[in-house]
Chains A and B, each alone.
Chain A
Amino acid sequence: MSKILIRGAKVLGGEPRDVLIDGGTITQVGTGLSGEGAEVVEAAGRVLLPGLVDLHTHLREPGREDSETVLTGTRAAASGGYTNVFAMANTFPVADTAGVVEQVWRLGQESGYCDVQPIGAVTVGLEGRKLAELGAMHESAAGVTVFSDDGKCVHDAVIMRRALEYVKAFGGVVAQHAQEPRLTEGAEMNEGVVSAQLGLGGWPAVAEESVIARDVLLAEHVGSRVHICHLSTAGSVEIVRWAKSRGIDVTAEVTPHHLLLTDELVRTYNPVYKVNPPLRTERDVMALREALADGTIDIVATDHAPHPHEDKDCEWAAAAMGMVGLETALSVVQETMVDTGLLDWAGVADRMSFEPARIGRATGHGRPVSAGEPANLTLVDTAYRGLVDPAGFASRSRNTPYEGRELPGRVTHTWLRGKATLVDGKLT
């Protein structure tokens, strides 16, 4: 592996610096560094970030290789500036044993585009009844620390309590998909003014908020940490804010789409807007942005959820829930958080790299851009503006809600331990 000199990049949006990479490590950060013997990347005006870390990705392999594989998903991740993704457990078979998580982990190693950290299921088959072998998954080669039944809620209070307690033994964390199942039977979109007119089954905010309230209290009671997936309502923000003020060890994520889109879009009945949790109202969007800015919400996670064309090219009720997000996440965050003045680039590095790595106990990711650190880096042309064209996606799926929308920012380069995975916007 040769030397690379990234010249004149605004490190975390700050003053221009030269960054020298040798092998898999950052060896020097300074000004006027010599490019002798190094491949030089002219980066004047661009922003250099630590490689992004996504705590919530669906790679679909094993089982739904028609929508995504570990290879295509990690290529999408590299395109979006990610060097580490956490792969959710709702595959076929479910990642609820050491065998399945090791398979996913190994496929990630082989891909070479992005490190893949499997997430283990909390319960066998995501059925919410019996704990999966959490310890075995932790001790496997995959070294699982994050556990989630995402897609389904661990709704039984006793199972949730036990899981929170049990993973303390090895520093694990349960990531909860907060959705009270009885309140969301037949739910198709946010319950409110729009659902009343459209005649679509309502998904009340309280179905999310009541589970979050229960779980932060459980975490407090048993002295565990808990992570809340994809907050989508203003009420959820208030509960997490309250829990943090009490010293409860809770962290929370928000998706890019919940920072930008509202349930008004469902008026088109276009299932590309069908997602779990559902798109909410303008008021919720604003509360989520504010919470991400003030740290109540710790991180941005994509909930990248690929689906084949036929699962979206149909009527609303028949469509699958979910949106792809790896390749547009940073642009949406720039649009909603940076260009609005709510967050600077150092804040973006925190919410999209440092904090997700810390929550997931990722090693070698989410590290500062300084000498001696692993060379996991992302270079962004923040002045770019362009229309989203799903035809150019590296993901196997195209179910983006941003098709044809103008968004700012473009990831030009991604380096994984000093190896370029993306150069001038093209995968290597």
Chain B
Amino acid sequence: MQRHLISAADLTRDDAVLILDTAEEMARVADRPIKKLPTLRGRTVVNLFFEDSTRTRISFEAAEKRLSADVINFTAKGSSVSKGESLKDTAQTLEAMGVDAVVIRHGASGAPYRLATSGWIDAHVINAGDGTHQHPTQALLDAFTMRRRLVGRDAGLGQDLSGRRITIVGDVLHSRVARSNVDLLHTLGAEVTLVAPPTLLPVGVGSWPCEVSYDLDSTLTKSDAVMMLRVQRERMNAAFFPTEREYSRRYGLDGERMARMPGHAIVMHPGPMVRGMEITADVADSDRCTVIEQVTNGVSIRMAVLYLLLGGNEPAVTHARTTEEK
């Protein structure tokens, strides 16, 4: 494993399968009466959130606590960041307090990459979503959910997603979830199709390792999983599509459309859902929809990533930068 997790594209097939398999082990912890492992005892992890994201932050926090790490939560709002402090100074300040890993969510694409590669800090960096770039742990939990549902919990161990047909629908242009999923699913051998109105696909999407379609109905019948992306209503004001209703009619998933999917096929959503926009309530609440499972699996995946990145099986060490007197 590498020192950091910045992009799903950085993972090899074996790295990814190892994370998925480790997450299965982590999931068993949740079934115990005491949902805790001592592996990161004495390690400090900071959740550095420059963007509001309660669900991702809580998921990481749960994972960190189940591994017995000391957790610091930092949100930009009301902190020195809102007074103009730079990312570099914020990160260095936190590291000076003896942080072993930084989980970062940032509105600027590439911010975690800069943090990991600019020599600002020595800590491990885990990308919890950057701009419209990447959200690798989301892709991993999605792949984990697909493998469980489409291959099987035990049968899936050691396996990838070869030959599975995954359709991702919605605002691909602004979606870090879509980018991460395309990269990871391709690495895991799945066949990915993106479905969106042409306005919500980036120029240059033709170079991605996937198919692109403007027509949802023709792809539904040949999908093993359909992942609906959130579409912000405000996009309408920038002329990405004419009206909310037109978007729903052409690209929303309702019960009728879901009925045309193969019997084993699942419906996924990274949340938060906009009911009535990209997904109707009956689909969201059906047993084919894995949105709640995805949340549960997110904790297992993040435990696995933290465990593997921080070498949870090795003794805790104090790293150089914080012991040096400067």
The residues of A with any CB-CB pair to B shorter than 8 Å are 188, 191-200, 202, 204, 268-270, 310, 313-318
Name B176's closest neighbour in chain A (CB-CB).
A199
Cβ of A318 and Cβ of B108 under 8 Å apart? yes
Q: Are A198 and B133 in contact (CB under 8 A)?
A: yes
Q: CB-nearest residue of chain A relative to B110? A: A269
Chain A residues whose CB sits within 8 angstroms of the CB of B109 once the complex forms: 188, 198-200, 269, 316-317
Q: Which of B171-203 contact A (CB under 8 A)?
A: 176, 179, 202-203
Residues 109-143 of B contacting A (Cβ, < 8 Å): 109-111, 113-114, 117-118, 130-134
Decide yes or no whether B257 CB sits under 8 A from chain A. no
- Report A-chain residues with C-beta under 8 Å of the C-beta of B179: 197, 199
Q: List 13 A-B contacts (CB under 8 A).
A: A188-B109, A191-B203, A193-B204, A194-B204, A196-B204, A196-B207, A197-B207, A199-B179, A269-B114, A310-B86, A316-B109, A317-B109, A317-B131
For A198, A270, A315, the residue with the greatest tally of chain B CB atoms inside 10 Å of its CB is A315
Residues of the A chain whose Cβ atoms lie less than 8 Å from the Cβ of B113? 269
Partner pick for B114 among A188, A192, A196, A316, CB 8 A cutoff: A316
A204 touches B203 (CB 8 A): yes
The 9 closest A-B pairs by CB, nearest first: A196-B204, A199-B133, A269-B110, A317-B108, A199-B132, A196-B202, A199-B109, A193-B204, A315-B111
Q: Are A315 and B202 in contact (CB under 8 A)?
A: no
Which residues from chain B contact A192 at a C-beta distance below 8 Å?
203-204
Please name all residues of chain A whose beta carbon is closer than 8 Å to the beta carbon of B134 when the two chains form the complex. Answer: 199
- Tell me the B187-243 residues at the A interface (CB within 8 Å): 202-208
Question: With A195-B202, A199-B132, A269-B113 as given contacts, are A315 and B207 in contact (CB-CB < 8 Å)?
Answer: no
Q: B262 on the interface (CB 8 Å rule)?
A: no
- For B, the interface residue count at a CB cutoff of 8 angstroms equals 27
Once the chains bind, are B114 and A317 in contact (CB under 8 Å)? no
Which residues on B sit within 8 Å (CB–CB) of A270?
114
A197, A268, A314, A318: residue with the most chain B Cβ atoms closer than 10 Å? A197
Contact bitstring B266-302, A, C-beta under 8 A = 1, else 0 = 0000000000000000000000000000000000000
Q: Tell me which residues across on chain A come within 8 A of B133, comparing CB atoms.
A: 198-200
Known: A199-B131, A315-B114, A317-B107. 20 other contacts (CB 8 A): A191-B204, A195-B202, A196-B205, A196-B207, A197-B179, A198-B133, A199-B134, A202-B203, A269-B109, A269-B113, A313-B86, A314-B88, A315-B87, A315-B108, A315-B110, A316-B108, A316-B111, A316-B114, A317-B108, A317-B109
List the B residue with the shortest CB-CB distance to A317. B108
Bound-complex Cα distance A410 to B226 (A) = 60
B106 close to A (CB within 8 Å): yes
B202 touches A202 (CB 8 A): yes
With beta carbons under 8 angstroms apart, the residue of A188, A197, A316 that contacts B204 is A197
A residues near B176, Cβ cutoff 8 Å: 199
Q: Which residue of B lies closest to A269 (CB)?
A: B110
Query: For B117, what are the chain A residues with a Cβ–Cβ distance below 8 Å?
Result: 268-269
Closest to B115 in A: A315
| Cβ-neighbour of A315 out of B106, B132, B204, B206 (below 8 A) | B106
Q: Which of A191, A196, A200 neighbours the largest number of chain B CB atoms within 10 Å of its CB?
A: A196
- Residues of chain B from 70 to 115 with CB closer than 8 A to chain A in the complex: 86-88, 106-111, 113-114
Contacts of B88 in A (CB 8 A): 313-314
